[in-house]
Amino acid sequence: MKHVIEQGKNNHPVFVLLHGTGGDETSLLEVGRLLDEEATMIGIRGNVLENGYPRYFKRLSDGVFDLESLETESKQLHEAIQELAYVNSFDVTNVVLVGYSNGANIGIRLLLDYPEIYQKAILFHPMYPVEVKDRQLLNKTQVFVTMGKFDQMVSIQESQRVLYLLEEREADVTEMWENTHQLMYEEIEQAKRWLEKTSS
């Protein structure tokens, strides 16, 4: 998968940066620097194109995921992260998934499928309209989630579904409500404080 890496310091997190629809591997680099300028930054571009715009998996329509694509692409993304960890000699246990919108959505899938590997995530404006029958616990997982009260892409009900999905599996969830789907500076600042608190 197409990616970019900025090497940071060993005692700082490894941010896996997952963009929203239409973004690319560089889209969240500045967000990562604001969160921790000494962290390692790994931006990965989604494999799927929708009307020419990169995404991490296909959707059938707005708010309706292609579940087969989600399964296939999340596995490929996981394998890409593991390979990058091996080639670049970073500890995968230091990974913090940082995703916005579509990137946050596939981040949820990684948390659900690989709970022993991915145990910390910052999810900006996710949704996950998928029935998840697996009740595997996420009691080692820490997540910071932001949502919009007037988000034109994600309803309050869908935002609450994400919270319920994580909390039902005993993840440690910190939530923040903004207004719209747009990623705001205040969200990044709150995420930074959360990251510092949970890393101490």
Q: In this structure, are strands 3-6 and 40-44 parallel, antiparallel, or unpaired?
A: antiparallel
Instruction: At 146, list the tokens.
Output: 């932001």
Classify residue 52 as left (phi > 0), alpha (psi -120 to 50) or beta: left
Q: Are 10 and 94 in contact (CB under 8 A)?
A: no
Cα–Cα distance for residue pair 126/136, rounded to 1 Å: 20
Cα–Cα distance for residue pair 121/113, rounded to 1 Å: 14
Which residues carry out catalysis? 101, 151, 181
